[in-house]
Amino acid sequence: MIDSTRLINWYNFQAPFYHMWRDNYRSLLVRRVAAMLTDNQQPKIVLDAACGSGLFTIGLAMLCKQDCFVGLDRSLGMIHVAVRQARRYCLQHVAFHLGDVHTMPFCDACFDAVVVAGLFPNIHDWLLVLREFHRVLKSGGQLVIVEFDRMAMSRLGHLFFRVMISVYKLVSHYFRQFRFAEDWNMETSTVDEQALTKSLLAEGYDLAPIERLANHMVLSCRKGSQHAAIPSR
């Protein structure tokens, strides 16, 4: 079970140097998501939910200059970094907000698209969050999910995870305020593909085929016209 308060402490702790090794604004993943968002030429308002230090918010804003981007995250440290990076690149069509994906501070049907990367291993109630995305998306709006692909990860990808988990365990051993999970490993820090697609269908999304790129899976789906009934758990 993840302790959300300690998880935020962990991200606040990482924030000053996180983007230095994490944020490649021209990566294959960012460019692929940008291509998914530009399937037509109409300007869009796009939410980057749980944006962290702004990898996708800023990277997409660089590539999709006709669109407006909003980043949302619970970590104030990450938001500060994202704002600083957006100013560094003189991005006028980007804004960042402090907030929780479970209860987002946005009105209904206000976004054309929602992008979310690396979120689902860090939350417990997937259906609640998917329901929130459904709420803020316009009719037919697009949801793009990017998560590590545990079934098709390269050796380098596995090495990255081993190093990341080892650093976390070392730091959290001495500083309990960062110990957000007792058993953090490859399984708990990635998502089960079938469980995620099942949750998306349960919440009324129309799914496109999953793409696999750079140790990640990329799911693009659309808000359906009907909100599906929530299955019993």
Q: Which of 46-55, 87-96, 158-167 has the lowest mean pLDDT?
A: 158-167
- 160 vs 143 pLDDT, higher one: 143
pLDDT band at 44, cuts 50/70/90? very high
Cα–Cα distances in Å, from 223 out to 96, 141, 165, 201? 24, 5, 35, 10
If you count them, how many residues does the chain have?
A: 233
Domain region containing 140? 4-223
**pTM for the whole structure:** 0.88
Q: Are 197 and 126 spatial neighbours (Cβ–Cβ below 8 Å)?
A: no
Residue 102 lies in a domain: yes
Residue 232 lies in a domain: no
The mean pLDDT of the chain is: 87
107: domain CATH number is: 3.40.50.150
Residue 126 lies in a domain: yes
Residue 228 lies in a domain: no
Residue 230 lies in a domain: no
Residue 231 lies in a domain: no
Check residue 154 and give its pLDDT.
74
Cβ density class 190-202: b for 16+ within 10 Å, e for less? bbebeebbebbeb
Check residue 182 and give its pLDDT.
64
Residues ≥6 apart with Cβ < 8 Å to 48: 54, 56, 57, 60, 69, 70, 71, 72, 114, 115, 116, 117
Check residue 229 and give its pLDDT.
40
pLDDT band at 95, cuts 50/70/90? very high
The encoded tokens of residue 142 equal 């697009």
137-158 per-position pLDDT tens digit: 999 999 999 999 877 777 777 7
Check residue 46 and give its pLDDT.
98
171-212 per-position pLDDT tens digit: 766 777 766 666 666 666 688 999 999 999 999 999 999 999
Residue 233 lies in a domain: no
Q: How many domains does the chain contain in total?
A: 1
Residue 17 lies in a domain: yes
107-129 per-position pLDDT tens digit: 999 999 999 999 998 898 999 99
CA–CA separation, 145 vs 133, rounded Å? Answer: 11
The pLDDT of residue 72 is above 80: yes
- 99 vs 157 pLDDT, higher one: 99
The pLDDT of residue 167 is above 90: no
73-91 per-position pLDDT tens digit: 999 999 999 999 999 999 9
